[in-house]
Structure 1
Amino acid sequence: MSMELQSPTVSLARLNEPAPVFEAITTHGKIKLTDFLGKWVVLFSHPADFTPVCSTEFGSFASRQAEFADRNVQLIGLSVDGVQAHLAWIHDIESVFGQKISFPVIADLDMKVSSMYGMIQPGASTTSAVRAVFIIDDKGILRAMVYYPMNVGRNISEILRVVDALQTSDKHGVSTPADWTPGQPVVVAPPATASALETKEEAEAKGYDYKRWYLRTKTI
């Protein structure tokens, strides 16, 4: 007996493709992902309100809001808790950490957004969204995503570093090496043809630091 293949019922979040579009209820009312075209978006999920690791993360995100804003980034939080739980928890976090939380938090009770972005991981939990971060550029393209286990809090400085690396790469047409931070040398694209190969002297005349024909860096 033949089996007919069925189309998936939810979108899939894939790198360098349009981020799955959603409309959701949040602590700031109803929002749509398309509301933020022209801005970068950091969408991040947490397993549950009123939990210790998540609380420290929200406190840390709140303390760095101005740094994200300086990079034209909109923060959006998410969990499968309701709006009332979010509001009560946010009030508690603001009291504990002394930081105002000014970004919206999605109340994903039906797990619709969580499913679109693969935040529901049965090996970790079937009832909570795992810790995940999705970086979406100002054209709505998903540029980076990272998943974390339930018991490991995120490093907010690393999320900012990835945003910096993506924006620098877009602006200058370069790549960034391991452990790169703004101000450090970037990687120049390697030559694609034999005729484009350069000697060490030719590369250095262009201001490149020549290590190998395929590995050249420069300061921008």
Structure 2
Amino acid sequence: MFNTTNDTNGLRVALVTGGSGGIGRAVVKKLSDAGFAVAVQYAGNKAKADTLVAEIVEKGGKAVSVGGDVADEQAMKAIFDTVEKEFGGIDVVVNTAGIMLLSPIAEINLDDLDKMHRTNIRGTFVVSKQAARRVRKGGAIINFSTSITRTQFPNYGAYAASKAAVESMTLILARELRGKDITVNAVAPGPTATPLFLDGKDEKLIDHLAKSVPLERLGQPEDIAETVAFLAGPARWVNGQIIFTNGGMA
């Protein structure tokens, strides 16, 4: 259990966007197991978020679900207000919320491009803006990129562009928060067995992607959650970095 905190009751608090499914769900469970009170943000699936919260509370943890669009500044301000009122403050913000729509650049529907940019870029900006103002001393802001920014797979151009923007804002925010004792990093997963990744892929392609990793398997959401937990807790000397959690994929 992590024990670095500045509040009076010893409780560390994490807000996880996109926390009801895939990697976000694994992150929520990992941070809860590490002793955090966790706010599970959802955009549309309240039932999944509430079910996860109920599981955590049943095990003796502290959790709350909070709904709202990450790209809506007023909605996110209200979510931060709710979490602070519920738990007394916020120590860690994890931005797992994101969407991925694939297409060759020459054929992409620009509406799909705009959807990804709204969630992946604007959403990260909106959440980071609140986090930069409200995360407590000794805290962490953890954004999400993708290893595709380095592997350059075809059809991922628009998605990779949105995540490259996330990387840039992460590195700059880390430097803008000089003197506040708040770390800012991004996690860049490789191929990970989540519904977002598996959707639309046949078994042959999935096997090919798994074999492209030296460890010859897909990552699991829990693999990514381990890296997030490290950055959220003991990794106080890791700042302004993109952590490629991808099993060694080149």
Q: Fold-level match, TM-score > 0.5? A: no
TM-score norm. by structure 1 comes to: 0.35
Indicate the structure (1 or 2) with the bigger Cα radius of gyration.
1
TM-score norm. by structure 2 comes to: 0.32
